[in-house]
Amino acid sequence: MVTKSSPAAAGLTERELSDQPRAWARTIACVAEQVEQLRPLLAGQAVFTGCGSSYFLAIAAARVHQQVTGRPATAIPASELFLAADSALPSGQRGPLVAFSRSGDTTETLRAAAYYRDRGLGPVIGVTANAESPLARDTSAAIVLPWADDRSIVMTRGFTSMLLASWLASAHLAGDQAFLTELGRLPGEAVTVLDQARPLASGLGRNLGLGRFIYLGLAEQYGLAREAMLKMKEMTQVASEAYSPLEFRHGPISVVDDSTLVVLFSTERGADYYRALLSDVRRCGGQTLAVGLPVAPDVANFTLPLGGELSDRGRGLLAMLFMQLLALERALALGRNPEQPQNLTRVVELTQ
């Protein structure tokens, strides 16, 4: 593995995190300009791929693509695509591969793209923040978002902007005006959320009585929950886990104690089940937080209602701002430098 380190600068993560409304607005304009060129390439059954944060966003991208366009879509970690294609790829796969990589340089993602291209399975569409990268240059088409590149190792605006780009492309492809209108509102909503979410993120992030963070998210929000878990791990090295909400009772609930915070991506779908789920967590001594769809005050210890008029998907993207802030606040409370996460490099390049 070769290390490419990123320059550390005080407050870089904070600045990039706070820049998301601007990055999202540019992303919306960029995808609107490129969508006609992408439309023919996106036809057919789609596979979404990436590594780390970019794989987690692939999960959220694939779920929404299938839901919005009605076309089958699946997410596969890049390494599995070339190491275990026989069990990972849908049999008889024909259609686009959408490969996400902030750097556009991650070896596994490039190998997955090459594997797919060499077998003639369909066009490869890169989504990246790096215009000079192989993923931008050597693919059938690319959505390039240079304003979303993070200089920080830990991805913040890169994650949400690449995901937004994918959701926009799916909405354009399906002609889903309601979803496009909703996505268009998100930069404005994000300004408000960044402001309103800070006190809660700071209060919980700096509460060192909490030592384990568990994130629960349904459908596309499962990808978001895994990214929230990864932010906490990368920035703080504090124990964190992620599950599909009702999976949590099937074993993982055994770790809950009074140092556990269970963070639910609160959604319309599943809402009927969440009161009982969070009540079970509280009975085991854990603290609970619902972010997204407003819940009654007695459902969770803490709530952060988001975007009253939005759908689960819009609220989910806004919820990521809080999740990033929570991890950042915990890192600062522990005296860790979020710009220099332990054992991590900005790009994982394989030498074998």
* Nearest distance, CB of residue 155 and ligand F1P, angstroms: 5
The Cα-based distances of 281 to 169, 208, 248, 260 in angstroms read: 38, 19, 9, 9
Residue position matching structure tokens 């992030």 = 205
E runs forming strands in the chain: 46-50, 73-77, 97-101, 124-128, 141-144, 212-216, 239-243, 260-266, 287-292, 302-305
Nearer to ligand F1P, 98 or 154 (CB): 154
Distance CA 126, CA 342 (A): 29
* Nearest distance, CB of residue 234 and ligand F1P, angstroms: 6
Nearer to ligand F1P, 16 or 189 (CB): 16
Nearer to ligand F1P, 149 or 182 (CB): 149
Residue 329, exposed/middle/buried by CB under 10 A (0-12, 13-18, 19+)?
Answer: buried
Token duo for residue 284: 């085991």
- Give the interface with ligand F1P as residue ranges (CB under 6 A): 51-54, 101-103, 106, 109, 153-155, 234, 344, 346-348
Nearer to ligand F1P, 154 or 171 (CB): 154
* Nearest distance, CB of residue 12 and ligand F1P, angstroms: 14
Beta bridge mates, 290: 264, 303
Nearer to ligand F1P, 172 or 233 (CB): 233
Token duo for residue 327: 């991890």
* Nearest distance, CB of residue 312 and ligand F1P, angstroms: 24
* Nearest distance, CB of residue 4 and ligand F1P, angstroms: 10
